[in-house]
């Protein structure tokens, strides 16, 4: 464990970026933080570990987590190529999801030993940050028992997912994160069984409020709420 706790988080805004490029950047930072921790333990050092939060959006892409079932991708490789889509099998938890224009995607790369060592709590605080963001936009949302993410109509028999989550952790360092539908073209979700959950719909902020809202505005609110919920300082 770090003797010098660091609750500062560097925000890196990647803009609209190809999925592979953003994944490569995540991996580079993730490995750097883990290397610092290994070096600290090996050499009995107390160097601080850094924390990062990457924000971006992606061109149309489907990603399948480690425990996912490729049967939940309802289109074949020919269709993916024809429609200029992408598909990746990746190293996060969870099943299949979609990323595309009109989403705010957040990748926190945090050393949880700077905060708390509890993955369940980490996921719940990510959800809470999104719930508070949606509340600011006059959208009531919440959790559905047994399911990760944030949902609208969460207390009904017809909840609609508005934010998907999937993370990877190693040595208490996190990567991957969340995707919040803002002005997302929801038709792309019809090509998958989102998160491998049958019979659940998806929605977006613009659909819920009946007007378009900028990604920049939502991103700003969300990052502020993340900083308050996790009690970190933005640098």
Query: What is the predicted pLDDT for the residue at 2?
Result: 47
Does domain 8-229 bear CATH number 3.30.930.10?
Answer: yes
- Of the candidates 195, 218, 223, 226, the residue annotated as catalytic is 195
Distance CA 55, CA 16 (A): 9
pLDDT band at 194 (very low <50, low <70, confident <90, very high): confident
Predicted confidence (pLDDT) per residue in 173-187, tens digit: 999 999 999 999 999
Residues 6+ apart with CB under 8 A from 96: 62, 63, 64, 65, 68, 69, 70, 72, 73, 192, 193, 194, 195, 196
DSSP state of 135: H
pTM: 0.94
195 is catalytic: yes
Residues 6+ apart with CB under 8 A from 210: none
């Amino acid at each position: 464990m770090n003797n010098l706790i660091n609750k500062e988080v560097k925000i890196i805004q990647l803009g609209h970026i190809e999925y592979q490029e953003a994944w490569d950047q995540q991996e580079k930072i993730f490995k750097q933080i883990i290397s610092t921790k290994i070096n600290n333990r090996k050499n009995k050092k107390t160097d601080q570990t850094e924390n990062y939060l990457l924000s971006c959006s992606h061109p149309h892409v489907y990603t399948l987590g480690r425990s996912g079932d490729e049967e939940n991708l309802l289109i074949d490789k020919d269709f993916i190529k024809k429609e200029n889509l992408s598909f990746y099998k990746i190293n996060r938890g969870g099943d299949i999801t979609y990323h595309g224009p009109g989403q705010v995607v957040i990748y926190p790369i945090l050393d949880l030993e700077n905060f708390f060592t509890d993955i369940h709590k980490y996921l719940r605080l990510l959800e809470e940050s999104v719930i508070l963001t949606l509340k600011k936009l006059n959208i009531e949302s919440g959790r559905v028992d047994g399911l990760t993410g944030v949902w609208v109509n969460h207390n009904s028999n017809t909840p609609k997912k508005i934010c998907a989550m999937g993370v990877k952790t190693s040595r208490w360092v996190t990567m991957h994160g969340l995707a919040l539908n803002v002005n997302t073209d929801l038709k792309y979700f019809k090509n998958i069984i989102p998160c491998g959950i049958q019979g659940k719909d998806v929605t977006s902020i613009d659909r819920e409020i009946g007007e378009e809202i900028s990604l920049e505005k939502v991103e700003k609110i969300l990052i502020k709420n993340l900083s308050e919920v996790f009690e970190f300082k933005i640098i």
